[in-house]
């Protein structure tokens, strides 16, 4: 079996890393044509201009060059999209459609994603910076599979019949049941790290449940969502069922969250913005689900194989250039093997081949934006100032594009910013531990609780640790593994609610109790 990290990184091959960063190959004519299309919003089944005619520039992170412009949706556009989603929810073909009809549409969409997989992967790579290879093995098949899996849920939503003991009316009998209904119009705000996959995580369950949606992609990475919008129309979803508004978070996103015509907000992004959204949504008592930041610990017990731990740690933190909410960004290694693991991980970091996403052989792309590159470099600088040592990386690359070298920080202290805060880049902080109580305390000493991993072949040790770790997902001998059937979400400041699996249906449905005097 090839280890997962071996598919993404050739960690031992340091000859590769000596190569300079290549230039970004020219995208295919289909992708160039798509990027040149008129900036438009998807409202009520049609591509329409934003009322203001304002646009937002979109960049290729590998070059820093503008590659497209998208529409900047203003308050009037938000009103139009909410009205379309409301009308589509209340009347017309969507509420009339059978669950099997919704299932068929979702399957059709997944087939269209599969048919256009190569183009979607290329578009995702050019806009986000990730490699085309990774987009084609993770993001695009993930989007397809989420629509497929959730298609099945459309026909499996069920309620219950319950027995009551209602007193006060002698001899009265009741027939009482609980029905599940779609929650209504849903605003879905997604981030830039997995733009297409995040759109699928949001749209697929909401549509399966019978909701109507307004999707707002991140301003940095709107292109694949717009392409998905074209496929949604091609699949034949009725007008207004899916609306796509490109725009900034503070304006378009905030307007959606405050809008009285929206019943629920589903958000994936930073904890900072999640708190703002949760507060704002209270005024209109919206249902809110939040998938937020993380600072996920990776715990390597003394019996772990050093090579496995090295590959696993590299994968946990450098996958998607570290721009992953569950990135294994705090590495805790038992003292017995700490030095060997750090030596291996630093060598691995130095061997990862950085480059533009469309270049064959690139293993890690640039970060998504200039802003993100600066943010990550500032964190590295703060670590340095607070006394951390750099075992690998620690700097940008003197080349256009938003590159940051895979970075390993050691000699860190629990109170340092680099240990406490989410960096969202290819930067891991490594610490040693000697006993299990100590590492449990350290792992849980964080406002976050999204993911964690334990590396050991000691079954009892793993099972004893799992219940003590405060995180929504605990992996053993792997990290960042997700499945549409596996609930996902955070403890503590990492969020509210669980997406995927049966659990996500709770987010997109309301319970209705029906009590009939018979």
Q: Which residues contact 467 (CB under 8 A, 6 or more apart)?
A: none
Other beta carbons within 10 Å of 47: 17
Quick one: DSSP state of residue 499?
B
Region of 2-10, 146-154, 245-253, 448-456 interacting with ligand ADP (CB under 6 A): 245-253
Tokens of 119: 């183009």
Does position 250 interact with ligand ADP (CB under 6 A)? The reply is yes
Beta strands (DSSP E) in 40-137 are 41-43, 46-48, 55-60, 65-71
| Cα distance between residue 233 and residue 360, in whole Å | 33
Residue of 85, 277, 469, 504 that binds ligand ADP (CB under 6 A): 277
The CB-of-331 to ligand ADP minimum distance in angstroms stands at 23
Residue of 106, 154, 196, 257 that binds ligand ADP (CB under 6 A): 257
The CB-of-424 to ligand ADP minimum distance in angstroms stands at 6
Number of residues that bind ligand ADP (CB under 6 A): 17
* Residue 367 main-chain phi, psi, to 5 deg: -75, 170
Closest CB to ligand ADP among residues 251, 382: 251
Region of 110-118, 223-231, 266-274, 486-494 interacting with ligand ADP (CB under 6 A): 266-274
Does position 496 interact with ligand ADP (CB under 6 A)? The reply is no
Region of 85-93, 233-241, 247-255, 376-384 interacting with ligand ADP (CB under 6 A): 247-255
The set of catalytic residues is 291, 325
Task: Report which secondary-structure segment, H or E, holds 181.
Answer: strand 174-182
Residue of 61, 191, 356, 426 that binds ligand ADP (CB under 6 A): 191
Does position 270 interact with ligand ADP (CB under 6 A)? The reply is yes
The CB-of-327 to ligand ADP minimum distance in angstroms stands at 13
Quick one: DSSP state of residue 302?
T
Task: Return the HEC string of 216-283.
Answer: ECCCCCCHHHHHHHHHHHHHCCCCCCEEECCCCHHHHHHHHHHCCCCCEEEEECCHHHHHHHHHHHHC
Task: Report which secondary-structure segment, H or E, holds 33.
Answer: helix 29-35
Residues 194-223 that bind ligand ADP (CB under 6 A): 216, 218-219
Tell me the residue number closest to ligand ADP, measured at CB.
249
Residues 131-190 that bind ligand ADP (CB under 6 A): 189-190
- Whether residue 355 contacts residue 132, with contact meaning beta carbons closer than 8 Å, is answered with no
Bridge partner residues of 259 (DSSP): none
Closest CB to ligand ADP among residues 106, 292: 292
Residues 21-80 that bind ligand ADP (CB under 6 A): none
Residues near ligand ADP (CB under 6 A) are 189-191, 216, 218-219, 248-250, 253-254, 257, 269-270, 273, 276-277
């Amino acid at each position: 079996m090839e280890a997962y990290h071996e598919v993404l990184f050739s960690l031992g091959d340091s000859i590769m890393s000596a190569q300079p960063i290549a230039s970004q190959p020219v995208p295919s004519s289909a992708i160039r044509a798509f990027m040149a299309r008129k900036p438009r919003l998807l409202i009520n089944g049609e591509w329409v201009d934003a009322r203001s005619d304002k646009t937002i520039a979109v960049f290729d992170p590998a070059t820093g060059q503008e590659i497209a412009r998208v529409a900047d949706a203003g308050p009037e556009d938000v009103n139009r999209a909410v009205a379309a989603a409301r009308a589509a929810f209340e009347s017309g073909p969507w509420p009339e459609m059978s669950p099997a009809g919704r299932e068929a549409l979702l399957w059709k969409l997944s087939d269209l994603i599969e048919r256009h997989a190569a183009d979607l992967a290329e578009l995702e790579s050019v806009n986000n910076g990730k490699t085309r290879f990774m987009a084609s093995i993770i993001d695009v098949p993930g989007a397809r599979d989420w629509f497929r899996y959730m298609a099945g849920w459309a026909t499996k939503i069920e309620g219950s019949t319950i027995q009551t003991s209602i007193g006060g009316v002698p001899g009265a009998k009741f027939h009482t049941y609980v029905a599940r209904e779609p929650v209504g119009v849903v605003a879905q705000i997604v981030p830039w790290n997995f733009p297409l996959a995040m759109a699928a995580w949001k749209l697929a369950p909401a549509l399966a449940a019978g909701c109507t949606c307004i999707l707002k992609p991140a301003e940095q990475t709107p292109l694949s969502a717009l392409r998905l919008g074209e496929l949604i129309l091609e699949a034949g979803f009725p007008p207004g069922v899916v609306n796509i508004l490109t725009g900034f978070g503070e304006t378009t996103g905030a307007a959606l969250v405050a809008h009285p015509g929206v019943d629920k907000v589903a958000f994936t992004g930073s904890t900072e913005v999640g708190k703002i959204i949760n507060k704002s949504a209270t005024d209109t008592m919206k249902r809110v689900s939040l998938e937020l930041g993380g600072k996920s610990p990776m715990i390597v017990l003394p019996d772990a194989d050093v090579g496995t731990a090295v590959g696993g740690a590299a994968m946990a933190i450098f996958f998607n250039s570290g721009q992953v909410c569950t990135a294994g960004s705090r590495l805790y290694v038992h003292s017995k093997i700490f030095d060997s693991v750090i030596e291996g991980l630093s060598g691995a970091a130095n061997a990862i081949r950085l480059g533009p996403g469309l270049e064959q052989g690139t293993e890690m792309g640039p970060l998504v934006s200039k802003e993100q590159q600066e943010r990550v470099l500032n964190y590295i600088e703060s670590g340095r100032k607070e006394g951390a040592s750099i075992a690998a990386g620690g700097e940008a690359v003197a080349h256009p594009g938003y590159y940051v070298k895979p970075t390993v920080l050691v000699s860190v202290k629990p109170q340092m910013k680099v240990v406490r805060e989410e960096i969202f880049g290819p930067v891991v902080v490594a610490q040693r531990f000697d006993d299990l109580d100590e590492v449990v305390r350290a792992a849980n000493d964080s406002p976050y609780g999204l993911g964690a991993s334990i590396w050991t072949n000691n079954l009892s040790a793993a099972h004893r640790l799992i219940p003590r770790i405060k995180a929504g997902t605990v992996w053993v001998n792997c990290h960042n593994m997700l499945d549409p059937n596996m609930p996902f979400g955070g403890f503590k400041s990492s969020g509210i609610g669980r997406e995927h699996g049966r659990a996500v249906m709770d987010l997109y449905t309301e319970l209705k109790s029906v009590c009939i005097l018979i």
